[in-house]
Amino acid sequence: MKEQFKEFVKKNPILIKYVDSNEMSWQKFYEMYDLYGENNSVWDKYLVSDTKKDSALKDITKTTAFADFIAFLKTINLDSLQEGIGSIQRVLGVFQDFTGNKDNHDNTDKKEYKPRPLYKHFED
């Protein structure tokens, strides 16, 4: 019977985690094995790995989040988005005109306008 229990533990190394964390002892596991055998629902609590649960939950969450994101992208009207971006650009342009910040528009050096003297005619 001990050899069969050892084989059972080798097939299910997750049981070691419960013993290491002092949640169960080898004696209790052996008594459960002796009373119920290895194919009983009493083992369901111990044999289902937390990491398997977590990874399955993460996969489901990732898939759901990705599907929700794709569904959101499908609902976006690209024409209205383009109009909104254009409106924002116009508002920013007006704001720049009011603040006098024309760094983005006029980077060239322009000569300052000087009116021609009244007495001077075309290159005299």
Q: Please report the pLDDT score of residue 89 as a whole number.
A: 93
SS3 content of the chain, % helix, strand, coil (to 5): 65, 0, 35
Longest dimension (CA), the chain: 123
Instruction: Tell me the whole-structure pTM to 2 decimals.
Output: 0.39
Q: Please report the pLDDT score of residue 90 as a whole number.
A: 92
Q: Are 33 and 8 in contact (CB under 8 A)?
A: yes
Block mean pLDDT (10 aa), the chain, length 124: 85 84 88 86 76 55 76 84 91 89 56 73 61
Residue 18 burial (10 A CB sphere; 0-12, 13-18, 19+): middle
